Structure 1
């Protein structure tokens, strides 16, 4: 199974929603707080047109997804 990594930041309502949806879908994931990890923040900016837009999710070797749905994450996991 591919690894799901979710880049997030405290106070982000979209992140809170996606985390809850991933738990309900029983999709394991790794969280990376971009406010505590400068390299992670730089990565998010590199895939989000210079913005720190979260949640940003990476599934295995797939391109990063900015604010994806659980459906998109599931699809990436099936590839």
Structure 2
């Protein structure tokens, strides 16, 4: 099992840039969705953030589990990455997971 990470971003957002830096430093693959260019993505983040257009918003998906994190500090982002690694670890115990090795480095 692996996880996917969607990064909902805005062009003029310093927190988004910091998130990109942190994710790249940790060798975490992500798909970026700029809300400035995508009205559906913009509507989605406004919906999940209770009416606020908050960026960056990260959505981690591990099978049926979704972890949504909005504007976290670097420490909060690291804790979230460990939660995702824990979800992968639980599945890894059920039977081989090559992606867990990279997630466990988080």
Moved over 4 A (4+): none
SS of equivalent residue, structure 1 residue 18: helix
Mapped to 2, the partners of 1:17 and 1:9 lie a distance apart of 12
Task: For structure 2, list consecutive stretches of 5 or more residues without a partner in the other structure.
Answer: 88-106
SS of equivalent residue, structure 1 residue 40: helix
SS of equivalent residue, structure 2 residue 23: helix
Task: For structure 1, list consecutive stretches of 5 or more residues without a partner in the other structure.
Answer: none
Mapped to 2, the partners of 1:30 and 1:76 lie a distance apart of 19
Mapped to 1, the partners of 2:40 and 2:82 lie a distance apart of 27
Compare CA radii of gyration and give the structure with the larger one.
Answer: 2
1:24-64 C-alpha deviation (Å, 9 max, x unpaired): 01000000000111010000001111111000000003142
Q: Which has the higher contact order (CA 8 A, sep 6+)?
A: 1
Q: How many residue pairs end up in the alignment?
A: 79
Deviation at 1:66, TM superposition (A): 0.7
Query: In the alignment, which of 62, 67, 70 is matched to residue 71 of structure 2?
Result: 67
Contact 1:22 1:70 in 2 (8 A): no
Corresponding residue of 1:50: 51
Contact 1:62 1:76 in 2 (8 A): no
